[in-house]
Amino acid sequence: MSMKTTAYFDATRSRPDRTGIKDDWILRVLRYPEKEQRQMDGRIRRWARIAA
């Protein structure tokens, strides 16, 4: 993937329950989130439906 990521993101992405998540899905949610929430620590959570 050609985007800047954090160590936290990389560690979370390597979990066995997250290995099926495709790069295209991540980029789509970043560009077109249905919901967005800024956390107390400054991180931003984004959600969107993905038709698998």
Q: Indicate the average pLDDT of the chain.
A: 91
pTM equals 0.74
Could you report the per-residue pLDDT of 15-25, keeping only the tens digit for each? 999 999 998 99
DSSP letter assigned to residue 34: S
What whole-number percentage of the chain has pLDDT above 70?
94
Percent of the chain with pLDDT over 90: 69
How does residue 51 score in pLDDT terms, banded at 50, 70 and 90?
confident
pLDDT above 70 (res 1):
no
CA 34, 31, 25, 17: dihedral to nearest 10 degrees? -70
Whole-angstrom distance, CA of residue 39 vs CA of residue 28: 21
